[in-house]
Structure 1
Amino acid sequence: MTDQQIISLFHARDERALSEVSARYAALCMRVVRRHLRSTEDAEECVSDVMMKLWQQIPPAEPVNLEAFIVTLAQRTAIDKARRMQAQKRGGTAPASLEALGDSLAARETVEDAVHHRLLTAAVECFLDALSDDDQTIFVERYHNETAPRDIARKFGLSGVHVRKSLMRTRRRLKAFLKEEGLL
């Protein structure tokens, strides 16, 4: 089943959408979540929360790339859960409730936000296409796949310094490019 078919199931409020997403993306979601949460139980709970948020957010959200949407949602959910757990350890509960409120407010994406997001995505893709194969691979490994620089270096037989410098230069060029395009 394609991502568009899955999104159509969400729009039809068909619960098969969740089983399709779970079958297709649960392992990826778990990998993303485990980067932020140590406990397997917390990670499993977080993946369940991601599925619930997907059900709540599609519709009205219209993800262009379902995988990226799920990964972003998983990251945000895991980070929020880790912060809430850290706040509980310190005895604080106010930041956690403010973060939960922030999530519900941030979920209401405006048309302008959606248009800006699409323009930004297109600009970044254009920028990545103009990069050398090495720079593009390193950048995508780091920021899309969330691979640590030392792991990238090991994977491609490069030095850690080379990877970090490449990432720094590429970030600077991306920032300049986005400013030129009027997106920053």
Structure 2
Amino acid sequence: MVDYKIYGDQELVQLMRSGDERVLIEIYDRYWEKMLAVAFNRLGNQEEAEECVQDVLYKLWKLRENFSLVKDELANYLARAIRNQSFNILDRRYRERLKAEGFPPAEEINLHTPEHELIMRELEQQIDSVIRSLPAQCKLVFTLSRHEGFSTKEIAEKLQLSENTVKSHLKKANKDIRNNTKLLTTLVFIPIFFQ
């Protein structure tokens, strides 16, 4: 019997493209905990986090014939997929809450005006710029936490820092992002309330 643990990400993807279901089991075993940590970090709910991971793995399998990794590692791809699926779940949760509270559905509010799209792009660029301007250690901690899904404890162990130092770096990064995006964030949400 083949031991899939010896294969790298690119090899797993090639085997998956050929329809080998055992590859999905290896991806599950290899990345489940990290994916779950990223999902739980964003959603704060174990059941939704597990559902999120299952959805991502299901979609990966459905796309297997056309799926490829260029430079990325599979872990990075999966972290991004979890982040996007988490946004979908949060959006669904938000819509359900608004509906329960009697607010109009979001479809009735036009958020896709050219002005709104431009502001959103500028906001994204501004956030990226703030992240790039963070001190090296702070940027690394922030990236490991938000993009890779590592817990505070895992980051502390990986970088040989105390957990309090990791928390301080995350606090600084969040504060810098918040302080440098206040105006654009306000511009994004003000039109929603005046339509």
Query: TM range, normalised to the smaller chain?
Result: 0.5 to 0.7
Unaligned runs of 5+ in 1: 96-127, 172-184
Residues 1:19 and 2:25 are matched in the alignment: yes
User: Given that residues 139 and 167 in structure 1 are in contact (C-alpha distance below 8 angstroms), is that contact kept between their aligned partners in structure 2?
Assistant: no
Counterpart of 1:42 in 2: which secondary structure?
helix
Q: Supply the distance in 1 between the matched residues of 2:48 and 2:105 (Cα, whole angstroms).
A: 18
Query: Which residue, 89, 107, 115 being the options, matches 1:81?
Result: 89
Q: Supply the distance in 2 between the matched residues of 1:24 and 1:61 (Cα, whole angstroms).
A: 18
Q: TM-score, normalised by structure 1?
A: 0.57
User: Given that residues 10 and 58 in structure 1 are in contact (C-alpha distance below 8 angstroms), is that contact kept between their aligned partners in structure 2?
Assistant: yes
Indicate how the Cα distance of structure 1 residues 141 and 26 shifts in structure 2: closer, same or farther if over 3 A, else same. same
Unaligned runs of 5+ in 2: 1-6, 108-131, 156-162, 181-195
Residues 1:33 and 2:43 are matched in the alignment: no
Q: TM-score, normalised by structure 2?
A: 0.55
Please name the residue that 1:154 is paired with.
164
Please name the residue that 1:90 is paired with.
98
Note the C-alpha offset of 1:57: 3.0
Query: Which residue, 37, 43, 52 being the options, matches 2:49?
Result: 43
Indicate how the Cα distance of structure 1 residues 59 and 154 shifts in structure 2: closer, same or farther if over 3 A, else same. farther
Indicate how the Cα distance of structure 1 residues 49 and 164 shifts in structure 2: closer, same or farther if over 3 A, else same. closer
Query: Higher relative contact order at CA 8 Å, sep ≥6: structure 1 or structure 2?
Result: 2
Indicate how the Cα distance of structure 1 residues 155 and 42 shifts in structure 2: closer, same or farther if over 3 A, else same. same
Please name the residue that 1:101 is paired with.
none
User: Given that residues 52 and 85 in structure 2 are in contact (C-alpha distance below 8 angstroms), is that contact kept between their aligned partners in structure 1?
Assistant: yes
Supply the AA of the counterpart residue of 1:136.
A
Counterpart of 2:42 in 1: which secondary structure?
coil
Indicate how the Cα distance of structure 1 residues 84 and 21 shifts in structure 2: closer, same or farther if over 3 A, else same. same
User: Given that residues 138 and 167 in structure 1 are in contact (C-alpha distance below 8 angstroms), is that contact kept between their aligned partners in structure 2?
Assistant: no
Note the C-alpha offset of 1:9: 1.9
Q: Which has the larger radius of gyration?
A: 2
Paired residues for 1:51-130 under 5 Å: 51-63=57-69, 64-91=72-99
Identity in percent: 21
Please name the residue that 1:139 is paired with.
139
Query: Which residue, 5, 12, 18 being the options, matches 1:6?
Result: 12
User: Given that residues 142 and 170 in structure 2 are in contact (C-alpha distance below 8 angstroms), is that contact kept between their aligned partners in structure 1?
Assistant: no
Residue deviations 1:93-143, cap 9 Å, x none? Answer: 665xxxxxxxxxxxxxxxxxxxxxxxxxxxxxxxx8xx9xx9333212212
Instruction: State the superposition RMSD in angstroms.
Output: 3.6
